[in-house]
Structure 1
């Protein structure tokens, strides 16, 4: 970058620093303490980008949940409409026959049939039969009308679901653009990390519409003396159950972002406690696999974003390049995978 644009250079560095695992308040030391957390991970105190990421991710995931629920409802309505139309086809010929008979004969034919009875018993028998036929025809016509009304309502409901889906797609597209715009100065799109044959994580609890319930920092954090949201605790324990059992630290009292809210965890990639230096070899593979696991299970786990090895992933924008101001392993997240949860 040209030295003639020092302001731009400073702003790029500053915005780059905002997209960090803890997104906390002060620059990290060159090396984190062996048994502690990765400090504040080199983050600036400016919350602007973090707020954008939270808002866009929340809006995107809510829209995605509504879209998925609408697609499911559309499938159910399609099946209902199919059954309704099959029932209509079954009785359509019978209804047509009733209409034709009524047109041809009219009410006088019924009177003539009664008068043609040879005896009082025959009159009563014919009257009963005519009543039974009329009752059957009335029921058939009523059923046909109900099926027609159901067909109309189901078609309208299907049209409404299509409209809902179009609205949610537009919302997701807008949130994607907003997230990408916010991340642009921190780095462009990247290839990210993909690993095959990863476990499917146990899903978190959701509302009936697919959205995530609001949670507070209300349960004990087993990794520190602090607290976590139930969803964050679920995600940490689920990852451990699925084989990612190396050192982890979650709650941290400092900083304005997810760690103090009990909505973030740092997963060390080294086998011993603590966070250490830049990951290589097996440690790098472990971190890449864990990052890919969180991305694959983002919906099941209510993931807000994942950071690993100078790259950040969000549901709306995917993987983007990222580096911290301090340039150390904690700031660049080259010694731990950061998970933030909605």
Structure 2
């Protein structure tokens, strides 16, 4: 084969390969593996680890708090019913005591000896048995109602103590988060981005106690050739269902935050690649997407959101953010 022919064959193969890549490449809504346009996210060492640890403990404490408050409501109802039963029985027991005081205690001997016939003896014996059974039952009911009220009160007190314990945990996590966020300028409270008109997302599954179970990077990432967690996939799906379908990338093998763990996605403001918001449409897109994530944070298991020099963390709310990457070109979403 001559040199010109070899060059022609090489060019033809390159053209075919390029055409194949063009035809099979995903649309602009997805990030390609190794895409050089992926935002260069960076931050202080261990910031992501601190936020992850405090965020998970905060979520666990909040779940325990909600469970304790629900239990308190149940116990309060039980205590009220027990007290109502006590109030109902108390007059009856009082009447028994008053009658006994006025007439003297009716004993078996006095009741049965004062009879003039066998039939009267049998009648009084039967009446005495019935009276004693009624009185014993009333006393037993009263004691049971008292025991139930005492148990409900004791359990309620324990749940109130548990509530205070979880509130203390939440307060500690808030303090730890604020210390970590101070490294990226998170000392100033901001208005943030919240919209009451954001769609309601489908909730991710929780454990039976209301907490978020640990998940591994076990499902295919629809945006790259990597993996993400099932909870991240649910969040990704719900964001797209809500109408946010521009360029997005989730898994990355390296870098900060939760990308290598399959628990983070970067939502671009445009159809392909990443660039800073330079018009109202891009800024509004980022604002609305962020508002959707914050409104549905409890349903999706959102750990934190970063957008346009601000960071939202459940324990602290919106704070200023001045990390090396200002996140003006994408919305960062991390999932528990």
Shorter-chain TM-score bucket reads 0.7 to 0.9
The SS at the match of 1:127 is helix
Matches within 5 A, 1:269-308: 269-270=269-270, 272-308=271-307
User: In the alignment, is the contact (CA less than 8 A) between 1:34 and 1:276 conserved in 2?
Assistant: no
Determine if the alignment matches structure 1 residue 62 to structure 2 residue 60: yes
User: Would you say how many aligned residue pairs link Structure 1 and Structure 2?
Assistant: 303
Q: What's 1:80 paired with?
A: 78
Identify the residue that residue 329 of structure 2 maps to in structure 1.
Answer: 335
Q: Deviations over 1:254-277 (max 9, x none)?
A: 22541111111111222x233333
For residues 193-246 of structure 1, the C-alpha deviation after alignment (integer angstroms, 9 at most, x for no partner) is: 122312222222222322111111111212221111111111111222233233
Gaps of 5+ in 2: 1-29
Residues 320 and 38 of structure 1: is their aligned pair in 2 closer, same or farther, counting only changes over 3 Å?
farther
Q: Give 1:34 deviation, angstroms.
A: 8.4
* Bigger Rg, structure 1 or 2: 2
Deviates more, 1:207-216 or 1:305-314: 207-216
Structure 1: gaps spanning 5 or more residues = 1-32, 326-330
Q: Is the 8 A contact 2:257 2:334 kept in 1?
A: no
Aligned-pair distance for 1:62?
A: 1.2
TM-score calculated relative to the size of structure 1: 0.82
Q: Counterparts of 2:36 and 2:213 in 1: how far apart (Å)?
A: 29
Contact 2:199 / 2:242 at 8 angstroms: preserved in 1? yes
Counterparts of 1:149-298 in structure 2 under 5 Å?
149-187=147-185, 188-189=187-188, 190-255=190-255, 257-270=257-270, 272-298=271-297
- Does 2:38 match 1:39? yes
Q: CA deviation at 1:151?
A: 0.7
* 1:98 alignment partner, one of 96, 99, 124: 96
CA RMSD of aligned residues (A): 2.2
Q: Distance in 2 between matches of 1:92 and 1:110?
A: 26
Distance, in Å, in 2 between the alignment partners of 1:154 and 1:43 is: 53
Residues 28-81 of structure 1 show CA distances to partners (whole Å, capped at 9, x for unaligned) of xxxxx986475352315x642112111111111111111111111111111111
Would you say 1:144 and 2:142 are equivalent positions? Answer: yes
Report the alpha carbon displacement of residue 159 of structure 1 after superposing the two structures with TM.
1.5
How high is the TM-score relative to the length of structure 2? 0.83
In structure 2, the residue matched to 1:24 is none
Counterpart in the other structure of 1:48: 46
SS at match of 1:332: coil
User: d(CA) in 2 for partners of 1:159 and 1:38?
Assistant: 57
- Relative contact order higher in (CA < 8 Å, ≥ 6 apart): 1
